[in-house]
Each structure stands twice: as C-alpha cells, then as structure tokens.
Structure 1
Amino acid sequence: MTAEKKQAKCEKSKPIFCELSANDLEPEITEIESLCVECGKNGLTRLLLTKIPHYKDVVLMSFECEHCGYQNNEVQSGGKIAEKGVKITLQVTTQQDLNRQVVKSDYTSIHIPHLDFEIPAQSQKGEITTLEGIIDRSIRALEQDQPRRQEEFPDTAIEIDLFISKLHALKILDEPFTVIFQDISGNSHVENPKAPIKDSQCNITYFKRTKEQNCMLGIYLDNEDALLKPIQEGEYTLEQIEGEVLSFPTNCPDCNNPCETNMKLTNIPHFKEAVIMATFCETCGHRTNEVKSGSGIESQGVRIEVTVTGKEDFSRDLLKSETCDLEIPELELEVGPATLGGRFTTVEGIIIALKEQLSSCTALTGDSSDLETGKRMKTFIAHLEEILDGQRKVTLVLDDPTGNSYVQSLSDDGADDRLKITKYDRSFEQNEELGLNDMKVENY
C-alpha cells in the first residue's frame, strides 16, 4: 500500500487518524474506515500499538473489505528509523528455530546461501511471522503460476518444482542451514528463545547506511557539507564549551513531538573527555540519557573485567560507550551495544539498568508471554537482585573495540586486584563494522 493511497484513505475517512500518536493508540485497537485498493469501496482498518518482547514498539495494521473480501496485514515500526542498518545471521539447526518469531520491515532482504535463494527488499510488506512462515510463503508464491508454466514452459516448471522440493526439505531439516536478514532501516528482529541468555546461533551486526540507502528511506542530509566545515574563527571551540550545558531542538524518539536535548562536555578523571546528552519530552514524559566519546577511536580495543563483591565495587564509576558489549559470565548474560546504549554511571547503576529493562519487558505480563519464558525471566531478575544485595559474587565484563569504555580503579597506582584491563588489536570484522577499513588517511 503506497503512502499516497494511505493519505487518500485518511482524507476520505476520519481526518483525526492523521493526528493520532503512539500514545493515543496504546493499548486499544483503533478502527477507521478506509478505501479498499481492489474495489474502491469502504473497508475497515484496525490499528494496534504493541510491544514485541526484547525488541520495540510496533504498529499492527489489519484491513478487511466486506464487499469484495480483500484482506491485508502489515506491521510498521512504532518509532523512528534506527541510526544504523542491521544484519542478522541465524544458524537453523532444530525445529524450534523454525518457530522463532521474525519481525521484518518492508526493507528487509532474506538470503539463504545454502540454496542461493534471496527475497529482495521491498518485494514484500513488513510482517510478523516465523521462519517457517517465510518458507511457506515462498513456496506458495512459486506454486502460484505452476499450472500455466507446465503448459507454456515445461522445462522451467520442472526446475521450479525441484526448487520447491528443496524449500520443503528446509522445513524438515534434512541438514542445518543459514538464513541472513539484512535491513537498511534497522527495524528487523529475530526472537531469542533463550532470552535473556545469549543466543549462540544468532549473530547481529550493525552497519552505517550509504547515501543511496538513506535516500531509499527518505532521509536526506541537505546540510551534510556544512557539517564537515571546520570551526570558523569566533565560533565555539571544545575549550569554550567544556563545562557549559548546551541545548538544541530534536524530536522525541517515542512520540516524535518536538523537545530539547541538553548536552555537556565533561572530563572523566584518569580517562578522557565524554559528551553527556539528556533528552526529556514534556508531551509523553519519555527520558533518555546517552554518553558519547569526546575524542576519536583508540588505536586498540579494550576488555575490562571487574569482580563485583559488594558495596565498594558498586561505587566504581563506569563509562559504557555505544559500541561496548556487556557480559556477566556467571549468569550466561551477554548484551550487545544497542541494548543499554552509551552510559556514564556506576557498577551498581548499570546492573540496576539491566534489571529495570528486563522487568519492564512484556514477555512477563504481555499477551505474547509464555510460562517458560516468564519463569526464566523472573529467575534471572532474582539473580540480579542477589547481586545488588551483595549475596552473589560476579564478574562484569566490558568489551569495547573502540577503546572508549572505562571502569574506575580503587587504587591510586593502576588497576586494583579486582580490576583487569586488557588492550587488544581489533579484528578485520570489527574494523569493518566501525567503518575503519574504508578510511584512507594517507597522502591527503
């Protein structure tokens, strides 16, 4: 359904639909009359804003026309386009993997290297489905015109029948296979059935979009050349703004209403400069806090291991950059950089943030919850509470390929006996994800 048709339906039915926000829709189903793209008569569209466990808010849209019987179902992101695209590589080894929920946007391409099979981006509408559902939909699409092909192009029909049999073989798992989801909008997701434990069969990487990909999404940076201009005489320098709180207008990531972001450049003792950013939306009450490095990427990555035994360790200052993985080996917990974002807090603060994020997950109380997942999540949260009460000794691991993360030492002379800091050379894949392999700085 094109944007023009959606706008036309909106204008001819209930204009208030154009003014609805995410907060207006949650959690009730909203119904509007809208034009059927098949017969042109009025049908009924139902909208529901819901949260997918361990993912984000989405808008489910279902259209049905009682005149001609036409039906259509779509899913769209309930928030803004992600800053980066996402690539999800899933190793399928069991029947449970075929039942994983998959959220795919309009811009998701799906590739199965084992069969050299690809579903191009924008060839299908966004939807919530399962891996088995994706394979079934591909089989139905290939079978649709087979009777005509068998009459007009018998050789082609035989080849397609052979390929359909290979797709059926994927469903009975004759052998393990790999599925790759790539989405330039960053709004795709594959369920982790072991959550909150790390999904060892699923690898998620993020990439920066090209200018052409931004244009496909309708993102145009008209002033990007101006952003690259050096600071002119009389403008602010880093020395002038250090310690000052700067404010600039932005849009709320939840309701998209105008709000302001406050930014301050601060110096972390024994480390480096960092930019602390805080946003508060007066419309919906949403708050975000981020921290970004005030300097460049370090020449080496850093792995920090701190043994947490009690209150003394809870008070350590901690800087987690937006590129840093966090791990607690004793709980088999590993979270990627995007889960908590960049934060300047304490060891206690980062554990509390983990607990709050898991506690607010709808997998515990939502319609999509199941008993096994809910029980596992509650047990895991209880373990985090034991850590905060000082009843459980754990190791907190920060692994940051940019080298921009930090944990305070309790010793005046280097790392103390419960803090281990290891510098390492980045791999080619890590440099590729950071965009460093394409940076040429020689002979300029």
Structure 2
Amino acid sequence: MGTGEQKPFFRDINADEYDPEVTEMESLCFSCEKQGTTRLFLTKIPFFREVIVSSFSCDHCGNSNAELQSAGRIQDKGVRYSVNILNSKDLNRQVVQAPSATISIPELEFENPANKGGLTTVEGVIGRAIEGLSQDQVLRRIQHPEVAEKIDEFIKKLEQLKTCETPFHIIIDDPSGNSFIENPHAPSSDPQMKVTHYKRTREQNDTLCIGTEEEEEEKEQMDPKFNAHDEVLVFPSNCPGCNSPCQVNMKLLAIPHFKEVVIMASSCDACGLRDSEVKSGGGIEPMGRKIRLKLTDVSDLSRDVLKSETCCINIPELEFSTSMSGSAGKFSTLEGLLGDLITQLKTTNPFYTGDSGQEDKLSRMTDFCDILEKVKNGEMLDVHFELDDPTGNSYLQNLYAPDDDPNMTIELYERTFEQNEDLGINDMKTENYEQS
C-alpha cells in the first residue's frame, strides 16, 4: 500500500498473485445477543459480475451463516423474462436471480417476492419456493390447521410442476435488470422465451435507491443560465468493469442532418477501462425505421453507425437477430459494432463460457463468433446488415449522399401494438390529459 497504487475494489481471484483482502468487523449476534464477527470479501465471478461474499460467526454460541450479494451496477432498464416450460430439459435452464427480482407462475397464481439472490436452475427456483412454504408447517398444523392444509395442497401443485406433465410459464421480473435466464438456442432467438426491457417506475427507482430522469430534468430547468449545448456535465459514478468510483462526462451534441444525441464517456483510473455510450436526445419518431445494407466492399465496414438502445440488429444470411434489448446506444463504425457483438457473445453470456458452458454449446458459439469475425474483417461479404429501430432513432451513413445509396434501403413502418407496449406509448395520453 506504500506505493499509492490504486487497485480495483473487485478483483479476479488468482491463487498465485492475489492476496485476498478480507474486511472484518464486530457485529451483533441475533442468537445470543453478544458480539460476533462478520467478514466481507469483494471479488468477481468469472463471466458473471461482481459479488460480495459475507460470513458471520459467533464464538459465544456457535451461530454462523453466509450470504452472497450482487454488487454489479443497476442497469438502465428493468427486465422481464417469461419462459414457457415444456419438458424436463427446460427445468435445467440456469437462472441468475438478483435480490430485487420477483418470480411468478401464472398458472398457479403464485408469486415469490424479492429475496436473496443466487445462481440456480428453474427446478431450483421451484425447490426454493417449496422450501420456503414448508417452513413453520409443523407449527401451523397446530395453531392454524386449515391454513396448513391449504399450503400442503399448494406444495403438491408445485411438486407436480417438476414432472412437466402440463406446460407452465415462469416469469422473472427484475427492476435492476441484473437477472438472467439461459437461452439454450443462443445465438438464435428462443421461441419459448420472451424478454422485455422496460423503464422503471418512480416507486421502483425509490426501492432501488436511485433517482429518476424526470428529477434530473427538473433540476436543470430550475437554473435559467444552464445551456446543455455549451456545457459538459460531470457526475460521479462507478466503473462498469471493477465498480471503483469514477467520473462520467456527458455532452449534448447535434449531428448534422439527423438529430441531437447525448454522449456519455467515462475513464477508470483503477482498471483502465474506457467506456462510452450514446443516447438519443430527441423523442420517439412517429414511425419506426428499418435500414438494410448489403455489404459489397470492405469500405462498407467504415460507415458510421448510430445504434440506439432500442435498435435490433439482424443478419439474415447467418440467421442472427438481437432483440430490442435495451442495451447501451453506440456511435461507432460498422466494423466496431460487429466487434462489440462478438465481444458480447464471448464474454457476457455466463452459460456459454467458463465452467458452466457445455462443450457442444461452447463449440457452437465459438464457430458462430468466427463467422462474425470474418464478416468484420471483410473476408465474408454479400451479406445484409439490418438496423430495425421502432423509435426511428438509429442511423447508418450514406456514402453516396446527397444521392441515394444503391446498396442501402430505408423503410419507415407503423409500429405494432406490442412494440408500442414495450416503449410505453400505449399508456401515454397526449390529448385532453387534464381530464380523468
């Protein structure tokens, strides 16, 4: 520590080089009400995210417990997974459950409130629900036999789900956006799973102890001298790589012949990570926009691309498609965007890398990334690259401007009801809103 070198808060475990830094503190034992010891260990699970491992032990009564909590940053949007469970293989889908996530099974009208986080499977989720309901059943049978009988009947229904005699849905709703359910068909879409990213309500933000965008806008409007175009805003945040404190710079910029965008950039002194993000500064366009480009030359890979957070990317020849995932917006080149896709497929899916990745699935993912790498390097052309943005806020450079591009088409379309629902437009009332 004498060198003054700043180290990340959350570091990978390395048996040869890393000396674990464990924080110890005295804390009250709830069993004997004497002082015990709590130990905290900050680390990173490979291919997952930062976690805090805590353990408590009491030398007076022998009471002890351990817990694992997620320390990753809260995502920009909440996430909702709905999976149709059809057979025993679906029960083995792995599940990352954040502490803020609720789990429900509509067929049984069952909902499990937010609880401790963990890494489990769909069958494990059902087992944890059964275990929770079974607690204190002995006492209930004595004090409230009718209630205990109904709970026993419900537990039998949960047990029957493990046989998959009848299909059922399992829904995970996580306002923090940090939960995940395995897609065994990746990188293709899963026909049994629907993923919806949504904007959190004020109540959900309060529960997660974060502010809302409306509150920030109100603060800006209170200062009559504030001009977003002339200012670079700086605010504290945490590094998405190591979670150490860092600063984020934000600037509003007008792109000629397009619209305003918000550029956010951060640099971490602890781990050296540099991150940037682009968000649309305007509203949602009246119609969605689909941009389709046929790659015919290596120069096409140098085209500028603005991908909003609501944009889907499709490559029909590879049967590759991303959903309206709510991922960060990017202003890059086509080559850079393909590189980000490859990195995301290789490093951010915890079930296709590391110890949890099965050999055949890992091989399939590796082969697909190799094909994308050939497209990125210009070795594989004559494929189509599509940007499908329901908000109309994405952009692909026209190299022939102001003339039309012979290899690029732009299609404007009416959004579907489901797309408007995902964007929250269906609940908006823009006329006569003062009336109830």
- The separation in 1 between residues aligned to 2:192 and 2:9, in whole angstroms, is 33
Within 5 A, what are the aligned runs for 1:44-443?
45=39, 47=41, 49-51=43-45, 53=47, 56-63=48-55, 65=57, 68=62, 70-76=64-70, 78-121=71-114, 124-220=115-211, 224=216, 226-227=218-219, 229=221, 232=224, 235-236=226-227, 238=229, 241=230, 246-254=232-240, 255-263=243-251, 265-268=253-256, 270-338=257-325, 341-361=328-348, 366-387=354-375, 388-412=377-401, 415-443=404-432
CA offset at residue 127 of structure 1? 1.7
Measured in 1, the distance between the counterparts of 2:192 and 2:364 equals 19
Pick closer, same or farther for the CA change 1:349–1:120 going to 2, 3 Å. same
Cα 1:52/1:324, change in 2 over 3 Å: farther
Once structures 1 and 2 are overlaid, which stretch shifts more, 98-107 or 258-267?
Answer: 258-267
Q: Distance in 1 between matches of 2:52 and 2:184?
A: 22
Structure 2 counterpart of 1:229, one-letter code: Q
Q: 1:372 to 1:60 in 2, by over 3 A?
A: farther
The CA distance in 1 between the partners of 2:100 and 2:86, in whole Å, is: 26
- Identify if the C-alpha distance between structure 1 residues 340 and 85 changes in structure 2 by more than 3 Å, giving closer, same or farther: closer
Q: Using a 3 Å threshold, how does the CA distance of structure 1 residues 432 and 438 change in structure 2: closer, same or farther?
A: same
Q: Distance in 1 between matches of 2:210 and 2:180?
A: 22
Whole-Å separation in 1 of the counterparts to 2:50 and 2:165: 35
Q: Which deviations, in whole Å up to 9, do the C-alpha atoms of 1:208-252 show, x marking residues without a partner?
A: 2222222222224695473363773x54365xx4xxx73523323
Cα RMSD for the two superposed structures: 3.1
**Shift in alpha-carbon separation, 1:183–1:360, aligned structure 2, 3 A:** closer
Asked whether the equivalents of residues 300 and 402 of structure 1 are also in contact (C-alpha less than 8 Å), the reply is yes
Q: Which amino acid aligns with 1:250?
A: P
Is 2:314–2:320's contact at 8 Å kept on the other side of the alignment? Answer: yes
Q: Which moved more, 1:141-150 or 1:24-33?
A: 24-33
Q: Distance in 2 between matches of 1:299 and 1:217?
A: 33
Instruction: Give the direction of change, closer, same or farther, for the CA distance of 1:174–1:30 in structure 2 (3 Å limit).
Output: farther
Aligned residues: 414
- For 1:367 and 1:45, how far apart are their aligned partners in 2? 27
Sequence identity (%): 39
Could you tell me whether the CA contact under 8 Å between 1:73 and 1:127 is conserved in 2?
Answer: no
Q: Counterparts of 2:105 and 2:382 in 1: how far apart (Å)?
A: 43
* Aligned-pair CA distance for 1:340: 5.2
1:21 shift after superposition: 5.1
Cα displacement (A) at 1:412: 4.1
**How big is each residue's C-alpha offset from its partner over 1:53-102, in whole Å with a ceiling of 9 and x where there is no partner?**
4xx513052526375353333231x3322222221111112222212222
In structure 2, what residue type is equivalent to 1:421? I
Q: Which runs of 5+ in 2 are unaligned?
A: 1-5
Query: 1:252/1:74 Cα in 2 relative to 1: closer, same or farther (>3 Å)?
Result: closer
Could you say if the C-alpha distance between residues 91 and 365 of structure 1 is closer, same or farther in structure 2, counting changes exceeding 3 Å?
A: closer
Per-residue deviation, residues 345-404 of structure 1 (Å, max 9, x unmatched): 222221122123334456676343432232122111111122123235322221111100
Q: Equivalent residue of 2:418, what SS?
A: helix
Q: CA deviation at 1:167?
A: 0.6
Show CA shifts across 1:152-209 (max 9, x none): 4443333222211111111110111111111222222212233333233222212222
What one-letter code is carried by the residue in structure 2 that aligns with 1:251?
A: S
Name the SS for the 1:404 alignment partner. coil
Question: Which residue identity is paired with 1:105?
Answer: A
Aligned partners of 1:347 and 1:148: how far apart in 2? 64
Structure 1's 225 and 299: CA in aligned 2 closer, same or farther, altered over 3 A? closer
Give the TM-score of the pair, scaled to structure 1.
0.82
| 2:12–2:45 contact (8 Å) kept in structure 1 | no
Q: Is the 8 A contact 2:228 2:251 kept in 1?
A: no
Q: Secondary structure at the match of 2:354?
A: coil
Would the aligned equivalents of 1:266 and 1:276 in 2 still touch at CA under 8 Å?
no
Any stretches of 5+ residues in structure 1 without a counterpart? Answer: 1-18
TM-score where L is the length of structure 2: 0.83
Offset at residue 150 of structure 1 (A) = 3.5
